[in-house]
Structure formats: C-alpha cells, structure tokens
Structure 1
Amino acid sequence: MLGAVKQYFNRRKLVDESFQFLFEPYEGDEAVAFDCETTGLDPKHDEIIAIGAVRIKGNRVVASEKFERFFNPQQEMKVESIKIHHLLSCDLVDSDPIEDGMRDFLHFIGNRPLVGYYLEFDVAMVNKAIKPFLGISLPNKQIEVSGLYFDKKIAAIPEGNVDLRFDSIMEDLRLPPFAKHNALGDAIMAAMMYIKLINVKFLEKF
C-alpha cells in the first residue's frame, strides 16, 4: 500500500508526459542489469561519468542488447575513484551531455525491473541526474543481487557469516570474471549473478 502511494505522488511530479511508460505495470520476462561509475561515493555531491546496462530475458543475458554511455563531469574526480575505474577527465571531454544520455537510458530500460549489485547507490545517482529534467525518481522495481545471495546462503548456513563482497559472490557462484570496474562489465556480471541465483533454491552446493 505504501509503495503504491509513493508511486502515485512520484508520478504526479512527472514533467514530461512522453515518459509515462516508466510507470506502466511490467508483465514480461525481461529485466535490466545496470551499473554506474562515478566521481565519488556521495550521491549528493558526486556525478555519473559512465553507465552500462544489459538486458536479461528469461535465463539469458542478451549481450546484443546493451547500453553504454560516458559523461564529462562538472567537477574534478577523486583520486580514489580514478584508481577504481581508471577514467580521467581528459578521457571524457567529448562525451555525451548527461541529460541526453539519461533520456536514452530511460528508453533502454523502459518499465522493466532493474538488477544490480548495491543497486541503491546506482539508483540514487540516476535519480539525481533525471530529477532536474523529469521531476521524478526511478519507479522501476529494483532487485538487489547481494540480497538474493544473502537469502539463499543464510538458508544453508543459518549460524554462519555471509560474505557479500562482489568478488566473493562471483567466486561462490562459480561465475567467470568479466571486465571489473567497467560499468558495462559490472552490469553483465550482476546479470549473471541474478540468473544463477533465481535458478537455485539453496547455495549449500556452492
């Protein structure tokens, strides 16, 4: 009930009617995994410099249906962030305007559920980017892969500690590593985690 009320008021804030499709109920078998690279880890002050996404259909990562954009931030990037994503301001000089990229991203995801690793941060960054021109936050259903992993793992080891680090989950699920700390690569790995997790009841065999 509370979720429906929040969606109602969120929808009323929409200033561009061409994006009404985001609020339509989704009834298909697809989802979208996505990830952002940013200037830092504070959604209130930092900016998106790269976003990558890939569609999931049933039990398949549809690699041919992917999305990737880069953006030139208005602020200097923190050294700690550069060490992670290896992107410099000079690499982003000719990148897309953030509003154009976000409009394309919203058309790519549509009203599909969103999948990610620590998705709350990425959604917060996208919300910061779209609110100035749309007035809303993302209304899509959100699926956190670390939460799915925890629920499956704790059922098998109720008295144990669950390691929720990205690399640990990938290793435990016996998934091949992809390009780490690259937005599209991280999105693809999150998609692989999601597919593996929705197809097992418990993780005691991993």
Structure 2
Amino acid sequence: MFKNFFRNLQKKKLLNKEFEYLFDEEPKNEYVCLDCETTGLNPKKDEILSIGAVIIKENKVLMSKTFNIYVKPSDNISTQSILIHRIRPIDLENAIDPEEAIYELLKFIGSRVIVGYYIKFDIAIISRYTKKYIGIKLPNSSIEVSSMYYRTKKRRSDYEFVDLKFDTIMKELDIPLLGKHDALNDAIMTSMIFLKLKGLPAAKSTFYT
C-alpha cells in the first residue's frame, strides 16, 4: 500500500512524461543487473564514469542484451580515483554526456526490477542524476545479491561473521571470474550470482528492497 502511494507521488513529480514507462508493471521473470564505476564512494558528490548492465530473463543471462557506456566526468579524474576504478583518461575519450547516458540507461532498464551487488549505492548515485534530469529518483524495485547470499549461510548465532566480499561469494558459489573487474563484467558476474541463488528458499525472502 505505502509502496504504491510513494510510487504515485513519484510519478506526479516526473518532469518528462516520456519516462512514465518506468512506472509500468514489472515484467514477469525479467530483471536488469547493473553496476557503476564511479570517482568515489560518496553518492552525494561523486560521479559515474561507466555503467554496465545486462538483462536476465527466466533463468538466462541475455548476452545479446547488454549495456556498456562510459560517462564524461565534469573534471579530470584523480590518480587516486584511477587506482580504485582503473578507468584512465584515455578510456573516457569517447565518453558521452551524463544526461544522454542516463536517458539511454533508463530506456534499457524500463520498469524491470534492478539486481546488483551493494545495489543501494548504484541506485543512490543514479538517482542523483535522474532527480536532476527528470525530477525523480529511480523508482524501480531492487534485489541485493549479498543479502540473498547471507540468508543462505547457516550460522550458529546471529553474531557469526559471514564474508560478503564479491570474490568470496563467487568462489563459494563456484562461479568463474570473467577477467578484469569492469562495470559490464561485474554486472554479468552478479547476474550469475543471482541466478544461482534465486531458486534457494532461504534467498527468496530477500525479494524485494
């Protein structure tokens, strides 16, 4: 009830009616898995440098339905930032303007549920851009794969530590690493984590956030 109330409130604030499709009914058994590379870890001030995404339908990752773009930053990226995301100035030579990038991303996402690893960060930083360009935060529901994984781990107490690092989850689930960590590869690997977990009863309790 409250979810629908806030969605309707969001819809009224939409500045560009072209994007009303974001509020359409979620396609059944269809998701979009995404990942952003950014200049830092503060969604209130840092910028998106690249976005990778892939469509999941039924129990398949649709490799023919991928999204991979570089986004032009407002300033030169720092050496410290490059060490984190490994995106060099040369990689951004053909980057597109943030507004165009966000519009393309929204068309790719549609009204699908968004899947990701620590996806709240990605949604928060994307929402800062969507608020600026279309007046609203990203309205899509989301699923967090680290929460799904956490629910599947048997613990002797609520205080027992569970390693939720990305590479640890990949190893535990016996999923192959796809070479370098970039936005698209991370989105594809995260989608494989999701598919491996989504059929497990314990993991299902994390749908949706």
The aligned residue for residue 44 of structure 1 is: 44
Which residue number corresponds to residue 98 of structure 2? 98
Measured on the aligned residues, the alpha-carbon RMSD in Å equals: 1.6
2:116 alignment counterpart: 116
The one-character-per-residue Cα deviations of 1:39-60 (angstroms, maximum 9, x if unpaired) are 1111111100100000001111
Identity %: 41
Number of residue equivalences:
201
**Alpha-carbon distance in 2 for matches of 1:130, 1:93:** 24
TM-score w.r.t. length of structure 2: 0.90
Between the aligned partners of 1:143 and 1:42, the Cα distance in structure 2 is: 21
Report what 1:28 is aligned to. Answer: 28
Residue 32 of structure 2 contacts residue 115 of structure 2 at CA under 8 Å; is this kept in 1?
A: yes
Q: 1:117 to 1:37 in 2, by over 3 A?
A: same
Q: Residue 173 of structure 1 corresponds to which residue in structure 2? A: 173
Deviations 1:126-155 (A, max 9, x none): 1111211100111111000001111111xx
Give the aligned residue type for 1:30: E
Residue 155 of structure 2: aligned partner: 157
> Partner amino acid for 2:136?
I
Once the two structures are TM-superposed, the CA of residue 158 in structure 1 deviates from its matched residue by: 4.0
Scaled by the length of structure 1, the TM-score of the pair is 0.92
Deviation of 1:24 after TM superposition, in Å, equals 1.1
Instruction: Identify which range, 82-91 or 65-74, moves more after superposition.
Output: 82-91
- Shifted more, 178-187 versus 28-37: the winner is 178-187
Structure 1 residue aligned with 2:142 = 142
Which runs of 4 or more aligned residues in structure 1 lie more than 6 Å from their structure 2 counterparts after TM superposition? none
The answer to whether the 8 A contact 1:37-1:181 is kept is no
TM-superposed deviation, 1:107: 0.7
Offset of 1:75 from its aligned partner?
A: 2.7
Q: Which amino acid aligns with 1:140?
A: N
| Alpha carbons 2:39, 2:85 under 8 Å: kept | no
Letter in 2 for 1:171: K
Deviation at 1:6, TM superposition (A): 1.8
Q: Residue 207 of structure 2 corresponds to which residue in structure 1?
A: none
SS in structure 1 at match of 2:177 = coil
**Structure 2: distance between partners of 1:17 and 1:202:** 39
Q: Secondary structure of the residue that 2:28 maps to in structure 1?
A: coil
* Secondary structure, counterpart of 1:53 in structure 2: strand
Does 2:2 match 1:2?
yes
Within 2, Cα distance between the matches of 1:89 and 1:103?
23
Query: 1:156-202, CA deviations, whole angstroms, 9 ceiling, x for partnerless residues?
Result: 22423211111111111110011343000000011000000012346
Partners in 2 of 1:184 and 1:192 — Cα distance?
13
Partner of 1:190: 190
- Residues 64-120 of structure 1 deviation map (CA, whole Å, 9 limit, x = unaligned): 110011012013324343113211234313311111111111111110100000000
Residue 73 (structure 1) aligns with: 73
